[in-house]
Amino acid sequence: MANREVSSVMTELPIFPLDLVLYPNQKIPLRIFEPRYRQMLDNCMSGDRRFGICRVEQGAEKNGWDGPTNIGTIAHVLKCEDLDLTGTNYYIELIGKERFNIEKLILPAIDKPLAYNPPNSPSMQTMLQKASGKPLYFQAEIKILPNLEGLIEGNKWNEIITSLKKRIEDAANKIGVEFEDFIGFMEHNGLNKEQGSVQDFYNISSMCSLSLDTQQAILEASTIDVAIDILDSEL
């Protein structure tokens, strides 16, 4: 099993604090319209197409901006579409890559404006002028965390699959839909009924409508056994 030792290699990365948790290899869509993140996206797309996603750390504002948790996931941009053909409203698709730990947080070049109402006020041009063209978004020096390792087998995997099935059935019942083809659902999502990988576990965690606190704790887990215990505590 992998432990929490981090890589000795440090790199700098743009940081996007959000009210979500991104797992390795999880795909998600995002809409980008805030001036600071349009600048970030422009810089990413002209570079390696990567930035870091961290959950917002509640009560940890930095110069008025929502600050990030220390542990997040590198996001790689798979698709970027300018919805209005104006450079002000983007649709992007991402895939999670490595987990990372923030070693040093670099603050945006300007404090959060008092009248901040994106995407209209203040304009990106106004913010860039005030920042003298410097980044309007968080950046960080990060270290990559090792991947979790191991297989989940036997009764423990069966318990997780059973809990997922019940969650889906309960959600379907709430909207008056009968959910019958769980086997087909598992096959569609590449899940094996006999055993699961770390990636299978992340996939299930993203499907279970867990609280953000639980999702973040799973992301931060130092071993797959610790992650399973965290999931069990909520299911």
> pLDDT tens for residues 200-232?
999 999 988 889 999 999 999 999 999 999 998
Q: What is the pLDDT of residue 8?
A: 52
Choose one of 107, 125, 144: the last residue of a domain.
144
**Residue 129 shares a structural domain with residue 221:** no
Assess whether 102 and 164 both reside in one domain: no
CATH number at residue 67: 2.30.130.40
CA dist., res. 61 & res. 163, Å (int): 36
| Among the listed residues 148, 150, 6, 136, the one whose alpha carbon sits nearest the alpha carbon of residue 70 | 6
- What pTM does this model have? 0.88
> Are 54 and 113 within one domain?
yes
Rg of the chain taking only CA atoms, in angstroms: 20
Residue 21 and residue 103 in one domain: yes
Domain residue limits at 34: 10-144
Looking at the structure, tell me whether residues 14 and 124 fall in a common domain.
Answer: yes
- Contact of 69 with 55, CB cutoff 8 Å: yes
Residue ending a domain, among 112, 144, 176, is: 144
| Domain end call among 116, 144, 172 | 144
What pLDDT was estimated at residue 9? Answer: 62
pLDDT single digits (tens) 161-200: 988 888 888 888 888 877 778 888 888 888 888 899 999 9
Verify that 26 and 135 share a domain, yes or no: yes
Q: From start to end of 136-194, where are the E strands?
A: 138-144, 152-153
156, amino acid identity: K
Please indicate, yes or no, whether residues 68 and 44 belong to a single structural domain of this protein: yes
Tally of structural domains, the chain: 2
Same domain as 159, residue 128: no
Q: Is the sign of the CA dihedral 59, 61, 67, 69 positive or negative?
A: negative
Is 97 a domain residue? Answer: yes
In 3D space, the residue among 124, 122, 208, 123 whose CA is nearest the CA of residue 159 turns out to be 208
Rounded (10°) angle between helices 224-234 and 212-220 = 170
Q: Are 220 and 102 in contact (CB under 8 A)?
A: no
Question: Does residue 86 belong to any structural domain of this protein?
Answer: yes
